[in-house]
Amino acid sequence: MRDVASSAVLCDGALVRGIVDFLPGIPLRLLALRPDAKVSGPDRRKIIDAHVSTVVDFRDPTHERRQALAASRARLVALYRPFVELAIERDDRRGMEMAYELHHRHEFASHPRFRMRQPMRFAVSYGKISALEWLRDRTEGEEWLSDPWLIDAAIRSTKVELVQWVLTHYHGRNDPVIQIRTLDYVAGQGALDVLRLALTTFSKARVSTAAMNEAAKNGHLEVVQYLHENRTEGCTTDAMNHAATHGHLGIVQYLHEHRHEGCTTEAMDGASGGGHLEVVAFLHANRKEGCTTRAMDLAAEHGHLAIVTFLHQHREEGCTTKAMDQTAAHGHLDVVRFLHKHRDEGCTTKAMDSASRQGHLEAVRFLHEHRSEGCTVNAMNDAAANGLFEVVQYLHEHREEGCTTKAMDKASANGHLDVVRFLHEHTDEGCTVDAMDSAASHGHLDVVRFLHKHRDEGCTKHAVNGTAQGGYLDIVRYLSEHRSEGYTSDVIQLVAAKGRLDVVQYFLERDGNEHIDLTCTMDAAAESGNLDLVRFLCEQVDVRSSVNAVDLAARNGHIHIVKYLLERGHQWVDAVDIAATNGDWALLQYLLKQLGQNAHWTAEAFSRAGQNGHSEILELLVKLTKSQTIDPRAFAYVDAATVGDLEVVKVLDRVDEHLIEVDRDDRVSNRTIQIFAAASNGHLELVQWLHARYPQHFTPEIVECAAFACQLDVLHFLRSHTALPWTSLAMHKAVTSGNLDVVKMIHAESGVEVSPEMMDEAASNGFFDIVRFLHQHRTEGCTTAAMDDAAHEGSLDIVRFLHENRSEGCTHLALDSAAACGHFDVVRFLHRHRKEGCLHALGAAAKDGHFDIVRFLHRYREEGCSWYAMTNAATNGHLDIVRFLHANRTEGCFSAAMDYAASNGFLDVVRFLHTQRDEGCSVNAMNLAAAQGHVSVVRFLHTHRHEGCMTFAMSSAIGAGHIEIVKFLHENRTEGYNERVLDSVSYHPRTLAVMLYLAPERVPSDLRVPSRVVTERRDRLPRPSYRPG
């Protein structure tokens, strides 16, 4: 009976839970809910640092920056989600109960993980009605159901039953907030039942053009129909453009028949790229916008032969060389054949280069057999890098371009031994020390062995350094036993930073710690979080940990390391600040307990804690504050407002009296900037709160900030709750940002002036809908800058619209800049329809590598070019253009062409100029090639040219650590080098290798490595001699 009774006690779940409830610490059940527990310390720190840097950059809130902020904020928030949210997400009733119960205990009341801040918002965001019902029955249920933002969150869930539940149980005195952005999102998700319910229930609810745009983009025809029939906001050209791009023919047809916004060339271009033939055919038959060369280019790139055929047969826009270049890169051989047979645009060397890089051997073979463009050394270099043995072999056997040292270097780095062996046996280009360095660093022992046995380029100290950091102990041993280059003195701390105890032990056992900074090694080990490694280093008699060790461990959240070091008497400097910045509640509590009455922190801790949303930590720091010499509130206020953290703003607002007095003007300025930050980033809830408390700080500039940031919800709030004026500057900012809804909203306000520069600005930024709106509803017009800038940006639709509807015209800058920027369709349009002409178009296109434009301008325009065209094309490595200009133009080039091509490492261009032109080069060719480390170019110039070089060549190679070039020049040329360069060398593995080769006696003794190398026979090349240090 006694056994039965004891078993009954042990098996009583309620009793066990009751006992567990009184155990100290956080229950394992809750800890198990944390997905962020799997995020390593360094990765967590990266997320925190990335968020901090993103917020700091957010004083100019463009759309892209706001998206980046939202993304970084989401990653940060995910690290600190409270337990109640995690339990709700998993529908874990017991987890919710435990989180709620512990929240009401004194020891957890302030814990960030146990916050109970508007938990119903979590429930609706995860679509959990059961959680809502449980929360409703808590003591705080009535308060949570009075949240005016709860319905907005429910609507965003797109679940109609959830919205209905909240509508039934909402107890708030204030009207619920329904954001425009929320309804736009719901429309885009196709939740018509929720959208209809929200719009019919709340008469003041609004959508924007984004609603129909997004619904059309995502294929929700019923939503598009509903919005068209029941709303007046309409859409923009984005609706049909995106519907076409995504292949939603029914929506394209509906918009065409029922809406007037139309589309742009983007519609057929996108449909062609997406392979939607029926959409392309419909647009061709029913719309007049047409397409650009991008249509066939994109269709070819993605292998849509049927569309390429259709466009070829029914459209006149044609394509560019990108069509065959890109389709070859993707291996669409049938499309390559079609373009070759039916089109005359051809391709460039990029076709075979990219096909080789991607391993499309059949495409490479076809291009070789049927086309004359050929390839460059990049073909074999990249094929080798990617381990494409058959492609490398084919190029070697059938092409003459060859490769450079990059081929074997990259093949070695990526572990492709078969390719390395082939290049070694069949080519003469060889490799550089990068081959063994990178092969070792990436753990390719077989490649390291081959290079050591068969090649004489050797390696540098980077080999052992990189291998050790990667934890490849077998390669470390091999290099230590067979090579003499050794490693740098900081290698052990680099290894310790990776937490590799076995590698650290190997180095210390092999070479001792005479030249090792064990203090820095301890710091690195503490930062890595490897307690065994920290213990091992602490046991070394000579180790003295600096104060950085504790701080670095705290930085990555390694509380176990912090505790171990503090127990051994180590000190710290910034650990409290670091814990506060990271939101590390457990570490902060531990440190504060250790400090007792001596707790201190800096303004940086306060600011970063606020910036990262750690309101509970802010409260804790304020309680500990006795006196403050620096007022950090300005930073904290603005940063918290920028990310929309209302709770942090409230904390800062409550604790003013705990900080030193601030000048009244500064306080007003800080508050105004805070409002700017909240408004421009669209944090309506925070804007409402700030307006309720500080309406006197709302100025007209708030409207301008919100207009520039396209914050419709904030703008509607400001219009209905303030008397702020709507200025011409606000309209200008709205036009600049490209939001038609905001432009319409400000336009509707009487008395707002518009200048011609506004249409110029819209045209410059490619905002077709705004250009059309201003043309139709305003009389201010534009200037020639509108078409000039639109041409510069490649906006064919705007250029055509302005040409057909406006009289301002353009200048020669339109064609010149369109050519320089590679906008072929715009160049062709301006040539056919405008008379302003150009000045430098051909030369600018040649400089930036726009082959199709160069060819077009040569054929159809008379302005021509100067010798700058070929010189600049050569400088930038545009071999196809150099060839074309050589064959079709008479301007030629200067010797600078080969000089700069050599400087930039374009061996193919250098070789072409040498064999086909007579301008030659100067000593600068080899000088600059040597300085930049282009060993293959240096070898070519030495073998085929007579200009030679100066002492600058080897001197600059010495300073940059280009050991292969130093050896080549030293062994093959007589110019020598300036002795003074040896005195100014900054030692790192590459320059150290150079010094050991040229003047080992000048190398400091502590940088020399004892020669303990096991000799090994080489099959091909004699083993180089090394001088022991």
Q: Which of 230, 231, 223, 712 is nearest to 243 (CA)?
A: 223
Residues 570 and 617 in one domain: no
Residues 639 and 578 in one domain: no
Gap between the Cα atoms of 931 and 921, Å rounded: 16
Please check whether residue 199 is in contact with residue 230, taking contact to mean a CB–CB distance below 8 angstroms.
yes
pLDDT in tens, 204-214: 999 999 999 99
Specify burial of residue 76 (Cβ count, 10 A radius: 0-12, 13-18, 19+).
buried
Residues 150 and 2 in one domain: yes
> What average pLDDT does the segment 69-91 reach?
90
Among 638, 661, 684, give the residue marking a domain's end.
661
How far is CA 750 from each of CA 410, 675, 724, 754, 778, rounded to the nearest angstrom?
Answer: 65, 26, 13, 12, 13
CATH code of the domain covering residue 571:
1.25.40.20
Q: What is the pLDDT confidence band of residue 687, given thresholds at 50, 70 and 90?
A: very high
CA atoms 21, 25, 30, 31: torsion sign: negative
Q: Which long-range contacts (CB under 8 A, 24 or more apart) does 832-839 make?
A: 833/803, 834/803, 834/809, 834/810, 836/809, 836/810, 836/811, 836/812, 837/812, 837/861, 837/863, 838/812, 838/863, 839/812, 839/863
What's the pTM value of the predicted model, to 2 decimals?
A: 0.90
Please check whether residue 156 is in contact with residue 147, taking contact to mean a CB–CB distance below 8 angstroms.
no
Does 262 reside within a domain? no
Does 167 reside within a domain? yes
Residues 611 and 566 in one domain: no
Q: What is the pLDDT of residue 1014?
A: 34
Among 138, 157, 172, give the residue marking a domain's end.
172
> What average pLDDT does the segment 172-200 reach?
96
pLDDT in tens, 723-781: 999 989 999 999 999 999 999 999 988 778 888 899 999 999 999 999 999 999 999 99
> What average pLDDT does the segment 532-546 reach?
78
Which residues, other chains included, contact 450 with Cβ-Cβ below 8 Å and sequence gap of 6+? 417, 420, 421, 424
**Whether the predicted pLDDT of 153 surpasses 50:** yes
Residues 504 and 566 in one domain: yes
pLDDT in tens, 232-265: 999 999 999 999 999 999 999 999 999 999 999 9
Q: Which of 223, 163, 161 is nearest to 188 (CA)?
A: 223
Residues 574 and 635 in one domain: no
Mean pLDDT taken over the chain: 90
Among 172, 198, 214, give the residue marking a domain's end.
172
Does 229 reside within a domain? no
Q: Which of 207, 223, 206 is nearest to 215 (CA)?
A: 223
Residues 109 and 168 in one domain: yes
Please check whether residue 722 is in contact with residue 714, taking contact to mean a CB–CB distance below 8 angstroms.
no
pLDDT in tens, 317-353: 999 999 999 999 999 999 999 999 999 999 999 999 9
Q: Which domain holds residue 13?
A: 1-32+81-172
Specify burial of residue 350 (Cβ count, 10 A radius: 0-12, 13-18, 19+).
buried
Q: How many domains does the chain fold into?
A: 3
Gap between the Cα atoms of 201 and 168, Å rounded: 12
The residue type of 80 is Y
Q: What is the pLDDT of residue 665?
A: 57
Q: What is the pLDDT of residue 16?
A: 44
Residues 500 and 568 in one domain: yes
Does 998 reside within a domain? no
Residues 11 and 87 in one domain: yes
Q: Which of 660, 659, 684, 609 is nearest to 639 (CA)?
A: 609
Looking at residue 1023, what DSSP letter applies?
A: P
Residues 552 and 624 in one domain: no
Give Cα 357 to chain centroid, integer Å: 24
Looking at residue 977, what DSSP letter applies?
A: -
Q: What is the pLDDT of residue 4?
A: 59
Residues 524 and 655 in one domain: no
Does 931 reside within a domain? no
Does 526 reside within a domain? yes
Phi-psi category of residue 562: left, alpha or beta, with phi > 0 → left and psi -120 to 50 → alpha:
alpha
Q: What is the pLDDT of residue 863?
A: 92
pLDDT in tens, 112-141: 999 999 999 999 999 999 999 999 999 999
Looking at residue 1021, what DSSP letter applies?
A: S
Does 648 reside within a domain? yes
Gap between the Cα atoms of 570 and 574, Å rounded: 13
Does 140 reside within a domain? yes
Task: Say which residue the tokens 């060369």 belong to.
Answer: 293
Which tokens is 825 given?
Answer: 């369709």
**Whether the predicted pLDDT of 51 surpasses 60:** yes
Residues 578 and 604 in one domain: no
